[in-house]
A and B are shown apart, each in its own frame.
Chain A
Amino acid sequence: MSQPSCSLRPLHLAFALDGPPRRGRRATEVFDPEHYVRLARLAERGTLDFVTLGDSFARPGPDALAVLARVAPRTGRVGLVPAVTTTHTEPFHVSTAVNTLDWVSRGRAGWTVEVSGTPAEARLFGRRDAAPADALWREAGEVADVAARLWDSWEDDAEIRDTATGRFVDRDKLHYVDFRGASFSVRGPSITPRPPQGRPVVAVDATARPARQVAAAHADVAFVRAEDPATAAAARADLRERARALGRDPDRLLVLASLPVELYSSGDAVGLADLLGDWHADGAGDGFHLRPADPARDLALLVDGTVPVLQHRCLLRRFYPGTTLREHLGLPRPANRYASARKVSS
């Protein structure tokens, strides 16, 4: 079958690997790495941009970033975007863990910034009381900020291996970040060299108000949960406007409508393609983040039913254009802030 020439800008597609909590057989699946490998490979067969995995210190299940690190060597293209919470975790550890996910996946890492807002989570740490969402998100924004500074704290060409002078690195290309937030400070530089993507992709669920400004300031991808295309489109316009006001190029912030899906048959899968096409035509966003009722079943139907239809309609690409998540998303590799500052000042 010959491929029609596509001129449309394709939509981006992401899939959540975690369904709602279940009992019985599926509860053991949650701790089986092969379960996640199978799903991620399926997503890759459908040329999806990335898969997400949620996390919380209070919900039964393994550490999400660890699971996607376990999946990384068994997959080749699909982006890997775990949730990592910022409330009880050291910002320095968050930065190096996400950086390392980018190294082990060779440039396919992202990170969904999350906060831990419940008293139950606070009691697991016993260090601080539960705080209001506004305060937690302000702090999350600072963690996203310092994480990015730490990723930049090694310039890309800092490692020189200069045998003549005996120097392994050019220390002028390593930078102290000297970050002071309201509740923490970090001296830097990172212990981990700048990751393959320069900065892993930062995602934020911007549905709730307190997260929106963080998304506008720091995210590459924002998720918006919406019941209809108009609500999604309005949220997208709001996010782009906020990004513009912060001096960012709004096209560097992709907004994905986040939808619950439940597919029982290939007919549903084709129906989903119609729905996504309609929402897309109505300006609902740059693509979709699908949250399944049953990840394995819904992803199989999506990849075998929905994806080919979207491809046929030129709404989805047929192959990965590059190897990194940023390349899938059409986002440029960020320039290093310290290198650019040096260029300007010299």
Chain B
Amino acid sequence: MHLAAHFPGVNNTTVWTDPRAGSQIDFASFEHLARTAERGRFDFFFLAEGLRLREHKGRIHDLDVLGRPESITVLNALAAVTDRLGLAATVNTTFNEPYELARRLATLDHLSAGRAAWNVVTTSDAFTGENFRRGGYLDHADRYTRAAEFVATARELWDSWTAGGVPRPVTHHGPHFRVRGAFTLPRSPQGHPVIIQAGDSAAGRDFAAATADIVFTGWGSGGRPPGKCSTRHSTLAAGQEFYADVKGRLAAHGRTADSLKIMPGVTFVLGDTAADAQERAATIRRQQVSPQNALLALEQVWGVDLSGYDPDGPLPDIDPDPESQLAQGRVRLADPKALADRWRALSEAKGLSIRETVIETTGRQSFVGTPAAVAEEMTAYVAARAADGFILVPHLTPGGLDDFVDRVVPLLQERGVLRTEYAGTTLRSHLGLPDPVRPVGKD
């Protein structure tokens, strides 16, 4: 089983009102979580990306944790205080250039002795683009073609030095990029940094099958926007279906099933008894969905100002505005009216208030139970080919992984599904992936 740790920074599941919640920006927080993950023999540590502060009703969204550092810089610093842990940065292909990013990622791989990973995302909305020269003009349809050419160009650069350490100039002429000249770094310890893909569309899945070493899927994660992915339905069967679909796409690219690891983002809540864990889970949900956050979640579906409503009262009977520009920097809902109807039906059937409805519909911890039960369930998901492992998304910074590593990891190790020691030093070795082969003629 492969495990990774997601840093609980900017995220609508991160609980900052808990007395144990610490800084999401001080280096000490990153160091604590990374060291904990390494103590648990995790494969890697993961940082998400967001390049503009989200807005709601034309103003900066002020209810969730916000403020994050630049990922690659933090990971380079973490390379100094960890030895084996993989270090994964989410970096989009729209607001970067291949030469520069390939160089920064290769540097991370060198400075961490082979532990770098890149989560390739494709953000292209004009809202984020306002912070960049490119200005976000990239068409939605071009996102994955740019991403594919971006990664291919990066790989040409990573492969460009001979085994003898002689730089060979690269000439790349494509629809999106023209790169000519010599790369400044020799081939990095892993050959190429590990490539992660996160994105659920068919285009995203194909891109992953062609290109990625790991898929980070939102399945089961509590961190998705309301309505996009109802985790109530993230069953074993749904996981198996996704797993089979993505793995099934590999053969067309001449790849084997174990060359791509599928790692859903999951949350967890532990308790001394099953009842205790359920009670904690409910408390966490109430912390995640404050009265103010409940109204905000509702406004994101309805697209209109609902500040006059009582979070402890019933849902509005008006219909959503399909053209709404209320929320910025979020994934747009496909059919807000249908979602609103479902929420109203649920609220009427169960007699739920606005806040209770939001708590019920917008997320649920993936694994809730005693350490033994959680270890067993996670093992079962992997055994049933619903996942190759998990990216754990704790709800507390920076101590959110402490209990898991202290109480669940030893049980997974006893079961023989999790390593007790790292076998190798590079992230590829943790993942059981071979180093990429140098193209013929480049050795």
- Interface residues, chain A, with chain B CB atoms under 8 Å away: 27, 31, 33, 37, 56-63, 65-67, 69-74, 88-93, 96-97, 99-101, 103-104, 106, 120-121, 123-127, 154, 159, 161, 163, 165-171, 174, 183-189, 191-193
Q: Is the CB of A66 within 8 A of B69?
A: no
Bound Cα distance A126, B80 (Å)? 34
**Can you pick out 16 interface pairs between chain A and chain B where the beta carbons lie within 8 Å of each other?**
A67-B76, A97-B73, A100-B74, A103-B74, A104-B73, A121-B181, A123-B181, A125-B179, A166-B293, A168-B63, A168-B65, A171-B59, A183-B133, A189-B53, A191-B52, A192-B25
Which residue of A is nearest B60, CB measured?
A171
- Chain B residues with a Cβ closer than 8 Å to the other chain, count: 61
Bound Cα distance A60, B187 (Å)? 12
Interface locus among B104-112, B407-415, B422-430: B104-112
Q: Is the CB of B25 within 8 A of A70?
A: no
Q: Is the CB of B73 within 8 A of A69?
A: yes
Contact of A125 among B80, B99, B107 (CB under 8 A): B99
A residues less than 8 Å from B103 (CB atoms) = 57, 62-63
Specify which of B27, B70, B165 lies most central, judged by the most chain A CB atoms within 10 Å of its CB.
B70
Shortest Cβ distance from residue B208 to the other chain A in the assembled complex, whole angstroms: 25
Shortest Cβ distance from residue A322 to the other chain B in the assembled complex, whole angstroms: 18
Given A169-B62, A192-B25, verify A66-B104 contact (CB < 8 Å).
yes
Contact of A159 among B27, B59, B67, B80 (CB under 8 A): B67
Q: Summarize A's interface: helix, strand, loop or mixed.
A: mixed
Q: Is the CB of A58 within 8 A of B184?
A: yes
B residues less than 8 Å from A104 (CB atoms) = 27, 69, 73-74, 77
Bound Cα distance A186, B133 (Å)? 8
Which residue of A is nearest B189, CB measured?
A31
Q: Is the CB of B77 within 8 A of A168?
A: no
B131 CB within 8 Å of chain A: yes
Bound Cα distance A191, B123 (Å)? 16
B residues less than 8 Å from A91 (CB atoms) = 133
Binary contact track B83-100/A, C-beta < 8 Å → 1, others 0: 000000000000111011
Q: Summarize B's interface: helix, strand, loop or mixed.
A: loop
Bound Cα distance A97, B52 (Å)? 15
Give 5 closest A-B pairs by Cβ, nearest first: A126-B178, A166-B292, A104-B77, A187-B130, A69-B76
Q: Is the CB of A163 within 8 A of B17?
A: yes
Contact of B131 among A66, A71, A92, A126 (CB under 8 A): A92
A residues less than 8 Å from B27 (CB atoms) = 72-73, 103-104, 106
B51 CB within 8 Å of chain A: yes
A residues less than 8 Å from B110 (CB atoms) = 31, 33, 62
B residues less than 8 Å from A161 (CB atoms) = 16-17
Contact of A74 among B16, B80, B181 (CB under 8 A): B80
Q: Is the CB of A60 within 8 A of B167?
A: yes
Bound Cα distance A92, B106 (Å)? 21
A residues less than 8 Å from B25 (CB atoms) = 103, 192-193
Q: Is the CB of A90 within 8 A of B26?
A: no
Bound Cα distance A96, B52 (Å)? 12
B66 CB within 8 Å of chain A: yes
Q: Is the CB of A124 within 8 A of B66?
A: no
Q: Is the CB of A120 within 8 A of B111?
A: no
Q: Is the CB of B60 within 8 A of A67?
A: no
Bound Cα distance A47, B320 (Å)? 63
Bound Cα distance A62, B131 (Å)? 26
B420 CB within 8 Å of chain A: no
Shortest Cβ distance from residue A157 to the other chain B in the assembled complex, whole angstroms: 13
B132 CB within 8 Å of chain A: yes
Bound Cα distance A58, B184 (Å)? 6
Contact of A126 among B52, B73, B177 (CB under 8 A): B177
Bound Cα distance A187, B125 (Å)? 14
